[in-house]
């Protein structure tokens, strides 16, 4: 009986083929497989497929100095291979990563999701926040990461981490948001504030990569993991990342051009919060409270959008900017200026001596910060490794005094910097307003030298 089973099955299979029933079974299988593919393509799968083309792997070699004990025994610096991750934030090849990923790294190699590798260069960085912007030159427009926001994150919300974990490129892990607003001390020299804590698996090489929400939007940049612990990792919130990146990618930083407006996102719009006197923005009539909507039809929502839209534009060429004021749409022809032109000569001197770029604050806006001081100047940029940087002064602070002189206007700063006896006050005390608190820094300028080209 058992020996006749195989021939009977063979004859039955032949009968199915002859009758045309087997193709019908295959079609049903294909339909079933298609239906189940739809089930397999979960929101998490779709989120990764959306984001991963904009995630890059970063590799390079850096020199690690010997410890004091090693130096005493004559040991030389060691060359070690480093790795990390980055996200493309502009189609022209601008990439955001952690500063510690590229700090002192030679020959930065950036590998795209399709395997193409390019040489990267560091454009700007903020050591305190641990963020850096790289630039690669690719022959085509690159995919850009979708940006979410971190102000509305929820505990236990599902998240996804993508990165170059231990050199395994495009590694994907998932987890939850474990907590928000964490402060983490990772070394004597580095402390992070207001981090996202997540249970997503983050390992060496993940630094600089995106933390994604279920829509495939970046809500943070992965930065650190708790040594010796499981499922405890941290990310810089995307709102902070975008604030810093807008400064690092500003046209003043990269092109040495200026537009003259300070902006911030409010209620989904890009609101002008300050206008520099005698600036391109002032010349076309932009005012505090205007809502910028587009640059040459490129929509604006956050300050980074404005800098990206104006990046690479030529000085002297009109650029169409649209804004809303009292419900009316304004169409303005903005003409960029050189950052060192006209009234910026003072700023250059402040930049050279202190490492600060300063911008006036309208009196009505300053009164929101303080009722004690008569006025102050907004610090819009701090040069890395400058006297101001070493004292912990940062962008967003307000300069309210130099030594015994108040700094209500740029003219006040000019008066101080032109004093022949300025060196007698070295180190010079700068008074800073941060929030509702006043701080001071002691800046030594006696051994000042011209800063390196940026």
pLDDT tens digits along 232-288: 999 999 999 999 999 999 998 888 899 999 999 998 899 999 998 889 999 999 999
pLDDT band, very low/low/confident/very high, at 7 (cuts 50, 70, 90): very low
In angstroms, the CA 195 to CA 202 distance is 14
Catalytic residue among 57, 113, 150, 207: 207
The whole-angstrom separation of Cα 187 and Cα 191 is 7
- What gap in Å lies between CA 266 and CA 292, rounded to an integer? 11
Residue 332 has pLDDT above 60, yes or no: yes
CA-based radius of gyration for the chain: 28
Non-local CB neighbours of 166 within 8 Å, separated by 6+ positions: 83, 203, 204, 205
Enter the pTM of the model. Answer: 0.69
Active-site residue among 130, 255, 290, 397? 130
**Cα dihedral 339, 239, 181, 125 sign:** negative
Judge whether 279 counts as a catalytic residue. Answer: no
**Is 250 part of the annotated catalytic residue set?**
no
- Six-digit token string for 299: 């929509």
User: Across all residues in the chain, what is the average pLDDT?
Assistant: 84
**Residue 150 · residue 219 · CB < 8 Å:** yes
SS3 of 365-388: HHCCCCCCCCCCEEEEEECCCCHH
How would residue 6 be classed by pLDDT, with cut points 50, 70 and 90? very low
In the residue annotation, 178 being an active-site residue is answered as no
Q: Catalytic residue, from 99, 100, 257, 259: name it.
A: 100
The helix (H) or strand (E) run that includes residue 100 is helix 99-102
377-408 pLDDT, tens digit per residue, is: 888 888 877 888 888 888 788 999 998 888 88
- Report d(CA 59, CA 53) in Å as an integer: 18
**Which whole number is the average pLDDT over 167-193?**
88
More confident residue, 148 or 433: 148
Please indicate whether residue 434 or residue 113 has the higher confidence score (pLDDT): 113
User: Token pair 């497989």 is at which residue?
Assistant: 33
CA 363: distance to chain centroid? 31
């Amino acid at each position: 009986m058992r020996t006749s089973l195989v021939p009977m099955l063979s004859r039955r299979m032949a009968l199915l083929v002859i009758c045309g029933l087997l193709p019908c079974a295959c079609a049903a299988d294909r339909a079933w497989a298609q239906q189940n593919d739809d089930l397999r393509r979960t929101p998490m799968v779709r989120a990764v497929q959306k984001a991963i083309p904009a995630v890059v792997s970063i590799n390079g070699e850096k020199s690690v100095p010997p410890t004091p004990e090693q130096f005493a025994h004559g040991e030389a610096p060691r060359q070690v291979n480093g790795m990390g991750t980055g996200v493309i934030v502009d189609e022209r090849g601008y990439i955001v990563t952690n500063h510690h990923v590229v700090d002192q790294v030679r020959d930065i190699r950036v590998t795209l999701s399709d395997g193409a590798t390019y040489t990267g260069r560091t454009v700007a960085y903020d050591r305190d926040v641990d963020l850096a912007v790289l630039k690669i030159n690719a022959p085509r427009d690159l995919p850009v990461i979708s940006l979410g926001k971190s102000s509305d994150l929820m505990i236990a919300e599902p998240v996804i981490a993508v990165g170059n974990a231990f050199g395994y490129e495009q590694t994907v892990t998932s987890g939850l948001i474990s907590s928000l607003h964490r402060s983490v001390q990772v070394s004597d020299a580095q402390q992070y504030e207001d981090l996202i804590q997540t249970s997503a698996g983050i390992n060496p090489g993940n630094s600089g990569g995106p933390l994604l929400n279920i829509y495939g939007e970046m809500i943070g940049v992965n930065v650190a993991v708790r040594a010796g612990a499981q499922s405890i990792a941290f990310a810089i919130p995307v709102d902070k990342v975008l604030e810093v990146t807008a400064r690092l990618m500003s046209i003043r930083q990269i092109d040495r051009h200026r537009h003259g407006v300070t902006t911030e996102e409010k209620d989904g719009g890009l609101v002008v919060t300050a206008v520099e006197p005698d600036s391109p923005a002032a010349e076309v009539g932009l005012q505090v409270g205007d809502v910028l909507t587009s640059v040459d039809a490129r929509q604006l929502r956050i300050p980074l959008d404005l800098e990206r839209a104006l990046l690479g534009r030529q000085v002297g060429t009109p650029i169409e900017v649209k804004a809303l004021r009292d419900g009316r749409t304004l169409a303005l022809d903005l003409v960029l200026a050189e950052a060192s032109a006209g009234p910026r000569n003072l700023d250059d001197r402040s930049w050279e001596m202190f490492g600060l770029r300063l911008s006036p604050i309208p009196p009505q806006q300053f009164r929101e910060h303080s009722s004690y001081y008569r006025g102050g100047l907004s610090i819009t940029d701090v040069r890395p490794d400058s006297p101001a940087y070493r004292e912990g002064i940062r962008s967003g602070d307000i300069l309210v005094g130099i030594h015994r002189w108040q700094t209500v206007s740029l003219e006040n700063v000019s008066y101080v910097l032109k004093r022949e006896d300025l060196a007698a006050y070295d180190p010079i005390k700068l008074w800073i307003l941060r929030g509702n608190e006043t701080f001071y820094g002691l800046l030594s300028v006696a051994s000042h030298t011209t800063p390196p080209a940026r």
